[in-house]
Structure 1
Amino acid sequence: MSTSSDVHVRPARLSDYAAFVRLFPELAVPDPIPTEQRFAKELVPTAVVAELGARGPEPIVGYAYFQLMGRTLYVRHVITDPTARRRGVGLALMEALRAHGLANACVDWCLNVKPDNDAALALYRVGMSEAFASVSLAVPWAVVPESAPAHAHAVRPIDAGDDARVELAMRMIDGQLATLRAVGPDRVLLMLEEGQGEVTGAAVFHPHFPGAYPFRVARPELTWPMLAALRPYAREADLVINVVVEGQADVADALVSKGAIVTLSSVHMKGRL
């Protein structure tokens, strides 16, 4: 895998972890640096790194990480070393991901970017457009009810056979649930049902992060039953759950009104490959 100019893009290796640790803070997100074990298991299989033609003691000047969700390539990280900016590293990484998506029969791609990252927005607007705003919030477990009225809804696991109808009802990416389920057995996938099996909520909870993504509800008032359903799976020592709310400002407002703190704002962009 290679690109034009003096930038070379190749698949990531386990030995790239030190470079990953060095570059990860450039994301400027409140997340902890993934452990070497998580790097090996979750990122290396679908990550690429960029090197400059002139090799030195630190040849890696960028990396990108993505997930394949059905026919969508979801770009998760694109990082360029500050010392190598304006040398085409970001473009080379995006070109490599685009080629990978096309080789895997993807028809579109998407990503999240901070709304004030003008350089990244300019890069991504070549082939993508803004779809909706997202926010990450730290929600204190103390404001989440211990349980919700049993008669209001049913809570149950999302099985593989449920994926298509849940993704349709909750406006998720086709294949998103299968991709996240495959990451590991520590993911908890739950749904809310009302009436005759109408899907009104869905979330994927990673207790060890701890965070819920995606987190979707049909109405803002279902935010609390959805969180209450996740609560039994939380670690006792964790005081908050990190929740990503996509394109639902009313849901984010409901959380903030109860004491949640916005930790990150972003813009979701998508386009055809």
Structure 2
Amino acid sequence: MDANPTLRLMTAQDWDGFNGLGSSIETISADHFRRRVDKGGFFGLFIGTDMVGHMNLNLYGDDEGHFQSIYIDLGHRGKGLSNTMMAHALSWYRERDVKRVHLYTEVDNDVAHKLYKKYGFTLDSRAWHFIVPFSAISPSSKYTCHEILEEDIEAVGNRFQRFPAGEIARWLNREDRMSLMLKDTQGRIVGACLFTPGFPGCRPFEISTVDCLDDFIVGIKARSLPEFDFVRLTFAGNDELADLCRQRGYELVHEMLYFTQDL
């Protein structure tokens, strides 16, 4: 009979157990693993000394949380372990005065949908993750890309609800990440994204009109690392943008559902 499961924060010494376990997220390096450990909110689920699952919890903005991932080994599913992890995750967020939690899950993962709904999450919108080749864009030069400065934070946060001021401020202090916005010829903000050049990807990615997509990609390309000829875009609730990406033949990596819960 299995021993009682234990859930604890992971340490750098848990790398071998994590690396030997299947995962619902993309493969990460040992260095990336250690950075996640140092960031906090990265939990391992153990039976005895064996890691059988993990989850990654992030704080977002001033009072929001992003439930980045949850995974249980195939051989240990159906034993109620996901309930242990979900209850702990929501308790962890409440202890930190988080008011709203959000997450992405694959559109066809019915088991996960039932789990999240059981714990109070509701469907907000559909979301997509596309790969956009830099060679496939045709800019109009009607819009210009700028790095978000401290004095821009409030305006961007007011324009796009998925960009809380606290989250933008955190990104301003990261050497490996960028906060970008797009403006039209009258200086109005029509787009924003949080860009990680080393991925390379934008999440979230927001634009008010699909006409400005290519000009935004030009600005992102100018800030990308030379070894990449594409960018990943993750966005939610913008069916028009998703249709445009499909029409252009961009690779769809994930089609997801975006769930939220007010605590």
**TM-score under structure 2 normalisation?**
0.90
Match of 1:158 among 135, 142, 148: 148
Q: CA deviation at 1:189?
A: 1.7
**Structure 1 residue 39, shift from structure 2 partner:** 1.4
Which residue in the other structure is 1:194 paired with?
184
> Conserved in 2, the CA contact under 8 Å of 1:48 and 1:93?
no
Question: Residue in 2 aligned with 1:110?
Answer: 102
Quote the Cα distance in structure 2 between the aligned partners of 1:66 and 1:163.
Answer: 24
Partner residue, 1:87? 79
* Residue 136 of structure 2 is aligned to residue 139 of structure 1: no
Q: Percent identity?
A: 19
Q: Distance in 2 between matches of 1:181 and 1:79?
A: 31
Is the alpha carbon distance of 1:157 and 1:49 closer, same or farther for their aligned partners in structure 2, counting shifts above 3 Å? same
Equivalent of residue 62 in structure 1, options 53, 57, 74 = 53
Q: Which runs of 5+ in 2 are unaligned?
A: none
User: In the aligned structure 2, how far is the partner of 1:181 from the partner of 1:119?
Assistant: 37
Q: CA deviation digits over 1:151-191, x for unaligned, max 9?
A: x3342111233223212212215233234445x31212211
Cα offset, 1:101, TM superposition: 0.7
In structure 2, the CA distance between the partners of 1:19 and 1:162, relative to structure 1 (3 Å rule), is farther
Q: Any gaps of 5 or more consecutive residues in structure 1? A: none
Q: Equivalent residue for 1:97? A: 89
- Residue 198 of structure 1 deviates from its aligned partner by 2.3
Residue matched to 1:268 = 258
Distance 2:37 2:130 in 1: 24
- Which whole-Å CA distance do the structure 2 matches of 1:131 and 1:111 have between them? 10
Contact 1:207 1:234 in 2 (8 A): yes
Q: Distance in 2 between matches of 1:234 and 1:253?
A: 25
Match of 1:26 in 2: 23
Q: Which runs of 4+ in 1 moved over 4 A?
A: 179-182
- Three-state SS of the structure 2 residue aligned to 1:96 is helix
**Helix, strand or coil for the counterpart of 2:112?**
helix
2:242 & 2:194 partners in 1: Cα distance?
Answer: 17
Per-residue deviation, residues 37-93 of structure 1 (Å, max 9, x unmatched) = 1211134522111112xx25xx11111102101211110010001111122221111
Kept in 1, the 8 Å contact 2:144–2:215? The answer is no
CA-atom RMSD in angstroms: 2.0
For the residue of structure 2 that corresponds to 1:34, the secondary structure is coil
Query: In the TM superposition, what is the alpha-carbon distance from 1:269 to its structure 2 partner?
Result: 0.3
Q: Is the 8 A contact 2:143 2:212 kept in 1?
A: no
> What TM-score do the two structures reach when normalised by structure 1?
0.87
Change (3 A) 1:91 1:162: farther
SS at match of 2:75: helix
State the one-letter code of the partner of 1:67.
N
Tell me what 2:121 maps to: 128
Deviations 1:111-161 (A, max 9, x none): 11112111111110021010000111111111124x542xx3342111233
One-letter amino acid matched to 1:16? D
Within 1, Cα distance between the matches of 2:201 and 2:35?
18
Look up the SS of the partner of 2:199 in the other structure: coil
Deviation at residue 244 of structure 1 after TM alignment? 0.9
SS at match of 1:26: coil
Letter in 1 for 2:130: L
Count of residues in correspondence between the two structures: 257
Q: Which residue of 2 aligns with 1:219?
A: 209
SS at match of 1:255: helix
> Would the aligned equivalents of 2:149 and 2:172 in 1 still touch at CA under 8 Å?
no
